[in-house]
């Protein structure tokens, strides 16, 4: 699927793709936001460092990543030198193979270990279950009338379709440059800082800071209008990481999922984690069993968030955690 650089009357415009929408954040800095029906799933970033280009979180599928590469080349006129993986989840790393080699793929040391540990097995398992789950979600979508539920189911269809279609061409492409707490990348025109606060959404997450532009690409430490996935995470450290991001006083935040946001979105995200903790502790205090959680629905303002399929598993995780049954 190609990108388009000119509209019908020849005006220059931002590259387009069926997988994502490009949003210009500053000169040389772009967010690529997942588009419904596309195979991006997460959000990516394109940063012109000056004579070299950086890609942040290259999507779930090589197909979407190929469009991202074309968009980056069109926007910056320079080759992609760096690809950054914010954490090990498949939707943020599977595009690596489109850029590397020759690009250098950067992550934390622990994220590289987690990719090496999980990916071969995940890709093998998806070969079988992704087409099955795809059929289930397609059938559910066809039967659903409610517009919010249809948007939700469409996103799950996109996710499993991306997995099923890309499976035969996937090659595990590990990061080949790693760090633990901080890495500064200096280009001719721009410097970016990669920072890891350690545990959060996963055992190891990193964020990318553009100090001059006051922009932060957060990876999945921040979700906007989407339920986060808590069960690989560490809620206390996650909240601490979000507070640290707030202290950077960013003006623009690019979340792992959802639209580009602002500093206020950090407290909404912290509120979500605290809400799941409060709800489950209340149920434990009342002596109710874990099964009761299945009947709960997300409270306002989270009742319109997508990825609501994570809500019950999130509550179960927080319940088991509060009882000391999981880490």
CB of 115 to Zn ion, least distance (A): 12
Site for Zn ion contains 257 (CB under 5 A): no
**Alpha helices (H) along 50-143:** 62-76, 96-99, 109-143
Site for Zn ion contains 205 (CB under 5 A): no
CB of 154 to Zn ion, least distance (A): 20
Stretch that binds Zn ion, among 65-73, 154-162, 220-228, 289-297 (CB under 5 A): 220-228
Site for Zn ion contains 158 (CB under 5 A): no
Site for Zn ion contains 89 (CB under 5 A): yes
CB of 138 to Zn ion, least distance (A): 24
Q: 220, 265, 276, 283: which one contacts Zn ion (CB under 5 A)? A: 220
Question: Rounded to the nearest 5°, which phi and psi values hold at 40?
Answer: -85, -55
Site for Zn ion contains 133 (CB under 5 A): no
Comparing CA positions, the residue from 320, 327, 316 lying closest to residue 292 is 316
Lookup: tokens for 140: 């559910």
Q: Quick one: 15 or 228, whose CB is closer to Zn ion?
A: 228
d(CA 266, CA 7): 37
Comparing CA positions, the residue from 175, 181, 204 lying closest to residue 194 is 181
Stretch that binds Zn ion, among 24-32, 74-82, 85-93, 270-278 (CB under 5 A): 85-93
CB 207 within 8 A of CB 221: yes
Site string for Zn ion, 4-33 (x = CB under 5 A): ------------------------------
Q: Quick one: 220 or 277, whose CB is closer to Zn ion?
A: 220
Name, in order, each residue with C-beta under 8 angstroms of 153's C-beta and a sequence gap of 6 or more: 137, 140, 141, 144
Stretch that binds Zn ion, among 44-52, 83-91, 108-116, 284-292 (CB under 5 A): 83-91
């Amino acid at each position: 699927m190609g990108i388009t650089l000119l509209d019908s009357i020849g005006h220059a415009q931002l590259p387009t793709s069926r997988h994502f929408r490009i949003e210009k954040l500053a000169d040389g800095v772009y967010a690529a936001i997942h588009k419904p029906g596309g195979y991006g799933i997460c959000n990516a970033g394109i940063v012109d460092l000056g004579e070299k280009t950086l890609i942040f979180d290259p999507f779930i599928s090589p197909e979407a990543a190929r469009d991202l590469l074309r968009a980056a080349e069109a926007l910056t006129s320079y080759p992609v030198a760096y690809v950054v993986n914010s954490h090990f989840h498949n939707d943020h790393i599977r595009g690596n193979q489109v850029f590397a080699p020759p690009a250098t793929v950067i992550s934390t040391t622990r994220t590289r270990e987690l990719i090496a540990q999980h990916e071969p097995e995940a890709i093998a398992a998806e070969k079988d279950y992704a087409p099955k789950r795809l059929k289930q979600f397609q059938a559910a979508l066809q039967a659903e009338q409610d517009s919010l539920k249809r948007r939700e189911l469409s996103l799950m269809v996109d996710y499993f379709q991306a997995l099923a279609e890309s499976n035969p061409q996937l090659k595990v492409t590990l990061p080949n440059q790693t760090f633990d707490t901080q890495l500064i990348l200096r280009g001719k025109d721009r410097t970016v800082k990669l920072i890891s606060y350690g545990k959060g959404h996963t055992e190891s997450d990193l964020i990318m800071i553009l100090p001059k532009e006051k922009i932060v690409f957060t990876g999945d430490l921040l979700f906007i209008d989407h339920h986060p996935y808590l069960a690989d995470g560490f809620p206390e450290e996650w909240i601490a990481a979000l507070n640290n991001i707030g202290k950077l006083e960013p003006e623009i935040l690019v979340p792992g999922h959802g639209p580009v946001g602002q500093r206020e979105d950090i407290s909404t995200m912290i509120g979500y984690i605290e809400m799941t903790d409060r709800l489950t502790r209340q149920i434990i205090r009342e002596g109710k069993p874990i099964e009761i959680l299945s009947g709960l629905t997300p409270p306002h303002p989270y009742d319109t968030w997508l990825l609501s399929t994570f809500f019950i598993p999130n509550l179960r995780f927080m319940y088991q955690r509060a009882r000391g049954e999981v880490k």
